[in-house]
Amino acid sequence: MSNKMQYMRVGSSGLKVSKTIVGCMTYGDKNWQPWVLTQEEAFPILKHAYDSGINTFDVADVYSNERSEEILGAFLKEYKIPRNKVVIMTKVFHFVDPARGAADAAG
């Protein structure tokens, strides 16, 4: 079995994504859900994934009220990983906590 990460190109864009993707819903603030991992717990996992060749990460504003996105950004900054070396996939679904600065349905 090969330990070499496999990648796919997205259409004709030239964007190269790892076939294995890290879902970041688990990272955030335990006030959101008790099973969530804190930034300190997430960093070693993210580092191992990146060092293993995974370059694609999935986040969403609804994951821990945007905290998962912040943790991924802090990880990239902490380890000085250039933004052009990773693919960050995101989406929007539910309203997030207005106390965290996000707009509600009324705008």
Active-site option among 7, 50, 63, 79: 63
Looking at residue 62, its amino acid is V
Instruction: Clarify whether 63 is annotated catalytic.
Output: yes
Which of 26-58 are b and which e, b meaning 16 or more Cβ less than 10 Å from the residue's Cβ? bbbbeeeeeebbebeebbeebeebbeeebbbbb
- By annotation, the residues acting in catalysis are 63
